[in-house]
């Protein structure tokens, strides 16, 4: 399609070299563009300080107007919240800022970012953040581990320009990501990007649910399907239909569009394609080298791409993962609606709106009663169910081997406190626990939230931990849980 004039790297090269050194700039422009722009360090002086503007998808914060780096303050809050994954289907999302994907952060190369991560007091889990834009240990993960009701701070310098994924990296990492903990941070190069008419934020991800695609109700996360890499949903912007019909992206014929596209996976690679468009420019893998005239661009899990195109004629342009069953049967479908006058020279035919509607929405199982919680389980069943609950819920705080976290979460491994009083342990899981406890001679004074587990879950989790990690053993039955307060 028609070109967006002024490809980005030329602007950057000239901006960097300065107008008075045009000859030098031209000489540089003749070099390998990747080398010119891959200057990670910034020698510019830092001036001023400001609060970052954050936006929810598909909105993107305005371009950086500064021509110098600054100290930029980011406040991001983690919220665990129930929302719609697909019509009739709810899911407990863990979010950066209340929505999936998380807030879009836009800064400039050389900025010093003061990052504040808050974990809402109503949340159940500790969380943290790994930003791929960070040069340093874990991308900030270790420095930002934050318990519910707490707030952490760390700082980093944005060395490399590009569009970067961020995500939670708290164990079990896959589960925190699969539940919705990801977003994008754009580090604008010096000189910024060429101006376009519209910029949008699109992020692809998968969801793994206990029920199959379209099965109604509140769907729990399925660790089994996630490990097998068999998602029920593949979506743009956190839910089926997030960018469809009234929620479609918009433009007018003749306008230019830039999409900041991320893919978190957690497992799948995206073959991102806009039906009826050709990308004039693709910043492949959201790096420095610009490719042109691309039909479909590959976006790795944990990666991103920036695509630009001019919309030449009106129409409904369908965005898909061209692994096409994902688009028409699992949700990976969005729309860009372009209004304006037809140009019969460029495209003469009628439009295909109807044909491209998702087919999968109607597949729903009817009249299936919610699975009844079991009333009796034998030792093997308690252990199997308990192991699952431990990995999905308890391990996030008490750690995968039950070893605990000094100063925060007491150990369940060889825990004298756990083993001393079975009734008390049942009470902790039914009601939560706060106030000082002494476990293996060490004081803890935290809060274990009430976890909303049913009696079978509690019996199983306790049976599992009492028979694991060096504890002496002994089952807890569902009847004992029901009888306890």
By the rule CB under 6 A, 417 interacts with ligand HEC: yes
Closest CA to 136 of 144, 148, 146, 127: 144
Q: Answer yes or no: are the C-beta atoms of 450 and 393 closer than 8 Å.
A: no
Of 210, 226, 212, the residue nearest 268 (C-alpha): 226
Decide if 225 contacts 388 (C-beta within 8 A).
Answer: no
Number of amino acids touching ligand HEC (CB under 6 A): 32
Nearer to ligand HEC, 258 or 385 (CB): 385
Nearest in space to 214 (alpha carbons), one of 354, 318, 90: 90
**Residue with Cβ nearer ligand HEC (289 or 439):** 439
Exactly one of 439, 468, 477, 480 binds ligand HEC (CB under 6 A); that residue is: 439
- Candidates 397, 426, 459, 484; binder of ligand HEC (CB under 6 A) is 397
Q: Kindly tell me which of 125 and 333 has the beta carbon lying closer to ligand HEC.
A: 125
Q: How does strand 279-283 pair with strand 333-339?
A: unpaired
Chain contacts with Cu ion (rule: CB under 5 A): 127, 168, 170, 176, 181
Does 47 engage in binding with ligand HEC (CB under 6 A)? no
Nearer to Cu ion, 127 or 258 (CB): 127
Question: What's the min distance (Å) between Cβ of 452 and ligand HEC?
Answer: 10
**Shortest Å, Cβ 406 to ligand HEC:** 12
- Cα gap 390→376, rounded to integer Å: 19
Side by side, the strands of the sheet bearing 104-108 are: 54-55, 104-108, 182-188, 162-167, 130-131
Within residues 454-483, the interface with ligand HEC by CB under 6 A covers: 461, 465
For 32-179, strand residue ranges (E) read 49-51, 54-55, 71-86, 89-96, 104-108, 112-119, 130-131, 150-157, 162-167
Under the criterion CB under 6 A, does residue 446 sit at the interface with ligand HEC?
A: yes
Of 241, 219, 222, nearest to 90 by C-alpha is: 219
Residues 97, 116: contact at Cβ < 8 Å? no
Do residues 182 and 104 make contact, with C-beta atoms less than 8 angstroms apart? Answer: no
Does the footprint of ligand HEC cover residue 396 (CB under 6 A)? yes
Q: Select the residue interacting with ligand HEC from 76, 335, 394, 476 (CB under 6 A).
A: 394
Residue with smaller CB distance to Cu ion, 78 or 286: 78
Out of 415, 463, 467, 471, point to the residue binding ligand HEC (CB under 6 A): 415
Interface residues toward ligand HEC, by CB under 6 A: 124-125, 389, 393-394, 396-398, 409-412, 415, 417-418, 425, 428-429, 433-435, 437, 439, 444-449, 451, 461, 465
């Amino acid at each position: 399609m028609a070109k967006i004039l002024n490809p980005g790297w030329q602007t950057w090269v000239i901006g960097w070299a300065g107008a008075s050194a045009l000859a030098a700039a031209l000489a540089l422009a003749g070099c390998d563009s990747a080398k010119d722009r891959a200057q990670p360090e910034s020698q510019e002086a830092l001036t001023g300080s400001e609060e970052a503007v954050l936006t929810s998808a598909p909105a993107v914060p305005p371009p950086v107007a500064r021509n110098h780096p600054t100290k930029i303050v980011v406040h991001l809050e983690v919220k665990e919240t129930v929302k719609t994954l697909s019509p009739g289907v709810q899911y407990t999302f863990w979010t950066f800022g209340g929505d999936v994907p998380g807030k879009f952060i836009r800064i400039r190369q050389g900025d010093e970012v003061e990052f504040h991560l808050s974990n809402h007091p109503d949340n159940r889990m500790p969380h943290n953040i790994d930003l791929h834009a960070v040069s340093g240990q874990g991308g900030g993960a270790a420095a930002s581990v934050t318990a519910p009701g707490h707030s952490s701070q760390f700082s980093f310098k944005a060395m490399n320009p590009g569009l970067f994924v961020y995500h939670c990296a708290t164990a079990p990492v896959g589960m925190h990501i699969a539940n919705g903990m990801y977003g994008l941070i754009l580090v604008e190069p010096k000189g910024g990007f060429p101006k376009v008419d519209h910029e949008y934020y699109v992020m692809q991800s998968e969801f793994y649910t206990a029920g199959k695609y379209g099965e109604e109700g509140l769907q729990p996360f399925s660790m089994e399907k996630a490990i097998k890499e068999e998602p029920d949903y593949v979506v743009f912007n956190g839910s089926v239909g997030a960018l469809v019909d009234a929620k479609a992206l918009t433009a007018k014929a003749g306008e230019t569009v830039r999409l900041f596209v991320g893919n978190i996976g957690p497992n799948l690679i995206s073959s991102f394609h806009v039906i009826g468009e050709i990308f004039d420019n693709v910043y492949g893998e959201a790096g420095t080298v610009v490719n042109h005239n691309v039909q479909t661009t590959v976006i790795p899990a944990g990666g991103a791409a920036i695509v630009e195109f001019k919309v030449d004629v009106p129409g409904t342009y369908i965005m898909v993962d061209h692994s096409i069953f994902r688009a028409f049967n699992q949700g990976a479908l969005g729309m860009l609606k372009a209004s304006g006058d037809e140009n019969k020279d460029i495209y003469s035919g009628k439009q295909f709106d109807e044909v491209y509607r998702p087919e999968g929405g109607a597949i729903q199982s009817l009249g299936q009663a919610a699975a009844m919680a079991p009333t009796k389980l034998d030792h093997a069943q308690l252990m199997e169910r308990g192991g699952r609950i431990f990995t999905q819920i308890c391990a996030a705080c008490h750690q995968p081997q039950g070893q605990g976290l000094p100063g925060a979460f007491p150990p369940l491994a060889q825990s004298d406190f756990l083993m001393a009083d079975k009734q008390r342990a049942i009470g902790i899981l039914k009601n939560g626990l706060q106030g000082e406890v002494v476990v293996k001679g060490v004081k803890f004074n935290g809060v274990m939230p009430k976890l909303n587990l049913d009696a079978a879950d509690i019996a199983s989790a306790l049976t599992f931990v009492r028979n694991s990690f060096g504890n002496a053993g002994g089952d807890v039955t569902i009847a004992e849980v029901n009888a306890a307060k």
